[in-house]
Amino acid sequence: MHPIVPAIVLALAIVRALAGGVSWLTFVSVPLAMLWLVTEIRGWNARRESEDSDSAAAPPSAPTPEQTRELLATVDTIRRMRQERERPSLLPTEAEILATAKPAIFVQRADLAVTLDHPGRSYLGGMPRLPADMPWPEIEKHERVALTFLAQIDLAELPRLESSPLPRSGTLYFFADTNDDAPEPTACRVLFYAGDTARVPIRELPANLAAGGNGGGPWPWLPEDSVWARTGFRYPLSFTAFDSYRDYTVEPGANHPPGRNREAFERLMHAQYARHFGGPATAPHEPWQILSQDRDEWPFAWIAIEYGARALAHAAERAAPHGSADVAAEFRKIVDACAAWIERAAREEPCTACDAPLRAEFLREWRALAGQSEAAGRRLWLQVGDIVFAACQTCASHGRPEVIPPIYRDALARHNGANLDFPHQLLGHGQKVQWAPIGYDQHVLLLQLLGDAGLGWHPGGSCAVQFWVDPAAAARAEFDHVEMTVECD
């Protein structure tokens, strides 16, 4: 406010006093008006000094339209987040979850892998029985790259569900870009073949199929010429009808996924587990702990020794550049020692069982080398569970499952069964990890694959790959516009 205003008020008060109109109001108003005037003069002077100082600097530029939109969007997001934080999170009750029951098909893979030429018509991983006139799907990235084959499902083997929009026969092939942590929804292909695949030969892997990725070999220590570096182990599939439930509420426009009533959901799913499979489910981490322990049994075959040596050498090579010259030299010794074991294993049959003295010899050196890295000041990142799992499934895929120690066969079976809590499935409600089942609420869940060591990724089930299709397109057996979502906790 300009000082002129309190000055006028003070002048009026003084005039009134001089005119003889002295009263208690005049007596109070004069000093108050004087105080007001002094305060405003000081404030006015301070503002003038500030303006003089600012005038020497360059005037601020006006925000661009894009900056204005971003600011408004940020304000709107903060406002909505505050509203949602103040709004109580309403979880569905068990009765409400039961009311969402929708028929679905549970997809169970075999505990152990099979040979790549296994005659099964529905399986996970490996290589597809793809007709010669159907090209292997590719996408354009930095160059044309082939998509990873995930699964082949013979629709005639599925349980009959009246609500299913899928054809009663024919085969679906699922391909995806598994070398991207956040692939586009269109980075996938689903092919449909209406004929019989019984006599269709296995399609070889294309030359431009990249190694690694969630659907291929997840272990960077595998040799590049290994088939498992570019495709997953092959598991026959079996199917069981069950009721899928939605344990969350659909809240369009929310800024974060709604919560889940996990307790009620798991109770309902465990009841179905017992009804369909005759026993309680186990937590995925329980059997996986057995696979992950540095037990005396784990170098049970030469392939396990090779994988163990490769994993240790790979970890040492990654750690070497981050230390001093002396530390790098210590890591080079580890790599050289591992190379000797890899060369020794190459002269043996991969799935030949190792006797106790050989296991003890390897373990002594392997553990000493791992301990040597810790003494050098850098602990190597070694996942024994991955080594054991890969060795077990490699032996099984070579038709030698009897080589696998019983303790590991039992752990693999229990770990595989644990995924019934959140199963691989077709149709029904998808598992809500983040947003996908909400955003695709009006679509058909064509296939859901959850985190699984059998797929080579996230054995605890914390991630989901989901394929979605328009219901009308599925009824017409048109799968050219399927979209894929990949989400993790």
The confidence band for 45, taking pLDDT boundaries of 50, 70 and 90, is low
Helix-strand-coil split of the chain, %, nearest 5: 45, 15, 40
For residues 94-121, average pLDDT: 91
Q: Is the pLDDT of residue 310 over 90?
A: yes
Q: Supply the mean pLDDT for the chain.
A: 81
Distance of alpha carbon 210 from alpha carbon 124, whole angstroms:
19
According to the model, what pLDDT value does residue 477 have?
93
Please tell me which residue, 137 or 17, carries the higher pLDDT value. Answer: 137
Write down the pLDDT at residue 86.
47
Q: What is the pLDDT of residues 184-217, one digit of tens each?
A: 899 999 999 999 998 899 999 998 887 765 444 5
pLDDT at 359: 93
Least confident of 54-58, 274-278, 483-487: 54-58
Structure tokens, 450: 């959850």
Listed range (60-74, 233-247, 411-425) with the worst mean pLDDT: 60-74
pLDDT at 367 exceeding the cut of 50: yes
pLDDT value at residue 300? 96
Task: Determine the pLDDT at residue 155.
Answer: 96
DSSP β-bridge partners for residue 235: 124
| Residue position matching structure tokens 């030299």 | 329
What is the spatial distance between Cα 248 and Cα 242, in angstroms, rounded to a whole number?
19
Taking a C-beta distance cutoff of 8 angstroms, is the pair 357, 350 a contact? no
Instruction: Kindly provide the residue ranges of all beta strands, DSSP E only, lying in 202-264, ordered along the sequence.
Output: 235-244
Give 268-279 pLDDT, tens digit per residue: 888 887 887 776
272 vs 59: CA distance, rounded Å? 70
Give the pLDDT confidence of 428-484 residue by residue, as tens digits: 998 888 888 888 989 999 999 987 777 766 555 578 899 999 999 999 999 999 999
Residue 260's pLDDT is 78
Give dist(CA 477, CA 471) in Å, integer: 10
Query: What number is the average pLDDT over the span 129-152?
Result: 91
Please determine, for residue 397, whether its predicted confidence score (pLDDT) is greater than 50: yes
CATH of domain 97-289+410-488: 2.30.320
Q: Domain segments of the chain: what residues?
A: 4-53, 97-289+410-488, 298-404
Q: What pLDDT does 215 receive?
A: 43
- Region 105-131: mean pLDDT is 92
Q: Is the pLDDT of residue 120 over 50?
A: yes
Residue 404: pLDDT band by 50, 70, 90 thresholds?
very high
Predicted local confidence at residue 448, as pLDDT = 93
Q: Write out the two tokens for 155.
A: 């629709």
